[in-house]
């Protein structure tokens, strides 16, 4: 039984790893954007290639706004 479970879990992890690899190759890594057009100035400048990893600003700009309605922060 335990051996069977290990195979199931291992297969699921393997499939997930393949899916992540496919997704990564489909999307090029975002280029660093010039400071002038950066949406959220509070994002640490040391992360030019990551997504703006700050979806919820306490004040100021709010990159996760849905536009017309209130914003779904705490993503």
Partner 1 sequence: MMSTPQPADRPVIITSLLVITTLFAFISRAFDLHQAWLLLVGVGIGYVLMHALFGFSGGWRSFVRERRSQGIRAQIGLLALTSLLFFPVLGGMFGVTGTSAALAPVGMSVLIGAFLFGIGMQLGGGCGSGTLFTVGWGQIDMLLALSFFIVGATLGSMHLPWWLTLPSLGKISVIQSLGWLPALFVQFSVLGLLYFIVLQLERVRHGSAQALITNSNTSVTHRLIFGGWPLWWAIVALAILNLATLLLAGHPWSITFAFALWGAKIWSALGGDLTAYSFWASGYQVKALNSSVLADVTSLMDFGIILGSMLAAALAGKFAPEGRLKPRRIATAVLGGLLMGYGARLAFGCNIGGLLAGISSGSLHGWLWLVMGFMGSWLGVRMRAWIQQEGRTA
Site string for partner 1, 11-50 (x = CB under 8 A): -xx---x-xx--xx-xx-xx-----------xxx-xxxxx
- Do residues 39 and 48 make contact, with C-beta atoms less than 8 angstroms apart? no
**Which are the contacts of 39, defined by CB distance < 8 A and separation ≥ 6?**
52, 61, 63
Structure tokens at 69: 């309605």
- Do residues 43 and 54 make contact, with C-beta atoms less than 8 angstroms apart? yes
Residues between 56 and 75 that touch partner 1 (CB under 8 A): 56-58, 62-67, 69-75
Task: Give the residues lining the site for partner 1 (CB under 8 A).
Answer: 1-2, 5-6, 8-9, 12-13, 17, 19-20, 23-24, 26-27, 29-30, 42-44, 46-58, 62-67, 69-75
């Amino acid at each position: 039984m335990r051996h069977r479970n290990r195979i199931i879990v291992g297969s699921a992890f393997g499939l997930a790893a393949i899916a992540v690899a496919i997704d990564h190759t489909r999307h090029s890594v975002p280029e660093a954007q010039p400071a002038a057009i950066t949406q959220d100035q509070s994002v640490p400048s040391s992360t030019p290639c990551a997504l703006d990893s700050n979806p919820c600003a306490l004040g100021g700009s709010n990159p996760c706004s849905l536009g017309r309605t209130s914003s779904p922060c705490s993503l």
